[in-house]
Structure 1
């Protein structure tokens, strides 16, 4: 056991020695900070400082939680990645879109909230069901031609992730099993771990989740719920067709399974399809939010519950301390009402389309799967590259990308197998080791173009 007070630099030195000696190889993933802290007998904060020091020295790159990887080679003269040089990192892991002039658009609606009389009310706590104005505004924002959620079905979380957690907590007891696509949003895996829930990987195809896979998994051992991303699935960008949604609705209805639908990225889709909740409203919990539409710093998560289940969801939000702040709700109501959100949605659709054109231009000839209006791309790497090794090589060029393994849901007690390569990467849960996801939203277009050219150059070489 190492004393928590021991200089974190000494621990970082040991990791650096392991890297120099080849005991930790380029592209190799370091354990999550909490696991590292437990193994070393140190505090989590100390582990964070160790990882930060390794990043500063240019020895590792990545985001803890998604993956921290050994760089392919140390930077020249030990130069840190955080220095303002030509090799400063380009982050293609994050997906936080921002439209030009966004702050100027958002400011006018906030000004009235700063009046003392209005601010006093806005700083009061809000119930999980929000305010009447927030319910009306959110219901109008989320409506599609074939789906108009009743305002009475709305509850509010601090963000969409918390809304997902509340939905699962209200539905699944610790130890329960939740089916999800074999590739899924990484933070859902963290949510499941914290709630004591087991995720069950369900095979996908070119249209997303296969309905018969839900039946097979439930018959093997009962599922408590299904989590699904039917529109602009992260990371593959797949969107389910209407017939596939109807098939899945019939299956979950026959099995009497509730569904948590993650619809956070659907606003980017050109003419967003009706949510899965329109096909099975009596059992679907529709999750959406403002972080991608507006900004991650002041946001709200929306959770549309089936009739008769609002109070159970509200109780889960309260017990998890996941309810939205009244100030955020008041701001959201104003942004929705004055057209700011609609303006930002149009701007971000145009922005994402431009970024996808850069992907098509610079990665032409490679099997890259993306939606023309999506903010990410799923790239099946050329042989013999593997995702972890490619991430390490990209890090050497100052580019942070996410290996496909970050999205893989492994069956309980197993390690995902490496399957044969096939033309349909959307069914590639077992081949995630050969794929990387490129987040396109969080870097300037010029830097994105340069990074894509660099990645294409790496792909032309051998590991």
Structure 2
């Protein structure tokens, strides 16, 4: 019991420091006091202060510099994966869909490639345009209602993040401005930082990014492009209706503004609308990947630029060394051709609905936003919970969740919410974890204990 109390003490102190960082009372670059002084100020032992500093480092909130001290890290550099596999065996941070039937199907497809003659061919390099077989197969998996890309327009990368990076590098110069949803896919923030691109948050409503917000941002200073997720948005799960897509496409034409459309989750949609690429074909780079459809460990990314941007995107793929590994490309092509991708996709569409039933059972009565075909849930926490302390409390129960700040372009103004990734745990483990989190939310932080 005494050991459990000491563990709670150091984590509660770390929670308080994290809350100060989130509220701006401690800012990026601020130096924390020496551990001895910190211990004295908080009436804790020196050894406990050392554990607090270690916990803050593990959470990615501070960095220690030998001979100089411990400093608060910049928000863009913080690690929001707060729990390691040993302390948080239930992963609701990442959302990696997998169904039992996919593994025999994938193994069958790989068996052909392990023949020496085939393997020799698949280990040769390949360019952004892929292979003739890949170009012929890709349109079938990328097609959406009202839109099917031409085979010759498809470019290939190692994964979806690389497709996004190539599109942004081609469309937005260093120092240029990219409009993004105010809550967005966290990797876009990291990509923009590496490319020297300034992100401009765009206000959302229930239908997605607001066209008037795009126009206002462009009036204040030119936007070079916008990045949007119209279908099953991460983290909010909304799907932009056709009317909003048409309005946004018309605005892009009027402002001569390019669009990067991320369709990585759209294959799960029950009734998908035509993509923005169908409404603004000369303005939109459509990006996708097989990571969610198939598996992240052996995947391929796709970029479908308009003809006017094709050379620039292809050049960005080459210069960034983002071309697809030929082995992955050949494997993916085979899985598309033999129907494996379609069969796995159908299984995952059934799986996501069963997981949504667990969400409905656990979170009824809370302000939770999701969709019947979404592998994620956005949960606005009840008072008096704060996202940072809730994340820490969940981690103490072996459950890793992601704070809303991870998705906010301006973390200081992030909603008091967490995102739950629903795809990774087995369904029964997910259901138990959701019930545990719901009970925690009802209990409140003042009585937060771990039995």
CA spacing shift, 1:382–1:22, aligned 2, 3 Å: closer
How far 1:400 sits from its partner (Å)? 0.7
Match of 2:323 in 1: 323
The whole-number CA distance in structure 1 between the counterparts of 2:12 and 2:258 is: 51
SS of the residue corresponding to residue 377 of structure 2 reads: strand
SS of the residue corresponding to residue 180 of structure 1 reads: strand
1:444 pairs with 423, 426, 431, which one? 426
Correspondences of 1:339-378 after superposition (within 5 Å): 339-378=339-378
How far 1:145 sits from its partner (Å)? 2.9
The whole-number CA distance in structure 2 between the counterparts of 1:21 and 1:456 is: 21
The CA deviation string for residues 420-449 of structure 1, in whole angstroms up to 9 with x for no partner, is: xxxxxxxxxxxx331110001111111111
Contact 1:147 1:278 (8 Å CA) reproduced: yes
The whole-number CA distance in structure 1 between the counterparts of 2:129 and 2:269 is: 28
SS of the residue corresponding to residue 200 of structure 2 reads: strand
Correspondences of 1:378-397 after superposition (within 5 Å): 378-397=378-397
The CA deviation string for residues 173-192 of structure 1, in whole angstroms up to 9 with x for no partner, is: 11110001000000100000
Match of 1:82 in 2: 86
Match of 2:416 in 1: 434
The whole-number CA distance in structure 2 between the counterparts of 1:240 and 1:138 is: 24
Correspondences of 1:5-154 after superposition (within 5 Å): 19=10, 22=13, 25=16, 28=19, 65-67=78-80, 69=82, 82=86, 89-154=89-154
Match of 1:75 in 2: none
The whole-number CA distance in structure 2 between the counterparts of 1:137 and 1:147 is: 15
The whole-number CA distance in structure 1 between the counterparts of 2:328 and 2:198 is: 33
How far 1:327 sits from its partner (Å)? 1.1
Contact 2:15 2:388 (8 Å CA) reproduced: no
Number of residue pairs matched?
401
Match of 2:70 in 1: none
The CA deviation string for residues 126-150 of structure 1, in whole angstroms up to 9 with x for no partner, is: 1111011111111111112310111
Match of 2:4 in 1: none
The whole-number CA distance in structure 2 between the counterparts of 1:275 and 1:21 is: 46
CA spacing shift, 1:454–1:129, aligned 2, 3 Å: same
Contact 1:113 1:119 (8 Å CA) reproduced: yes
Match of 2:38 in 1: none
How far 1:25 sits from its partner (Å)? 2.3
Q: TM-score, normalised by structure 1?
A: 0.81
The whole-number CA distance in structure 2 between the counterparts of 1:143 and 1:149 is: 7
Contact 2:15 2:392 (8 Å CA) reproduced: no
The CA deviation string for residues 374-414 of structure 1, in whole angstroms up to 9 with x for no partner, is: 1000011111211111111111211110010110012xxxx
Contact 1:177 1:200 (8 Å CA) reproduced: yes
How far 1:26 sits from its partner (Å)? 6.8
CA spacing shift, 1:283–1:454, aligned 2, 3 Å: same
Contact 1:26 1:389 (8 Å CA) reproduced: no
User: Do structure 1's residue 454 and structure 2's residue 436 form an aligned pair?
Assistant: yes
How far 1:21 sits from its partner (Å)? 9.3
How far 1:271 sits from its partner (Å)? 2.8
User: Do structure 1's residue 177 and structure 2's residue 190 form an aligned pair?
Assistant: no
CA spacing shift, 1:342–1:408, aligned 2, 3 Å: same
How far 1:308 sits from its partner (Å)? 3.0
How far 1:101 sits from its partner (Å)? 2.7
CA spacing shift, 1:324–1:22, aligned 2, 3 Å: same
CA spacing shift, 1:21–1:137, aligned 2, 3 Å: closer
How far 1:89 sits from its partner (Å)? 2.6
The whole-number CA distance in structure 1 between the counterparts of 2:31 and 2:333 is: 47
How far 1:365 sits from its partner (Å)? 0.9
Match of 2:43 in 1: none
Runs of 4 or more consecutive aligned structure 1 residues displaced over 3 Å after TM superposition = 18-24, 26-31, 35-40, 57-66
Contact 1:336 1:342 (8 Å CA) reproduced: yes
Match of 1:250 in 2: 250
CA spacing shift, 1:81–1:169, aligned 2, 3 Å: closer
Q: TM-score, normalised by structure 2?
A: 0.83
The whole-number CA distance in structure 1 between the counterparts of 2:227 and 2:85 is: 37
SS of the residue corresponding to residue 447 of structure 1 reads: helix
CA spacing shift, 1:100–1:21, aligned 2, 3 Å: closer
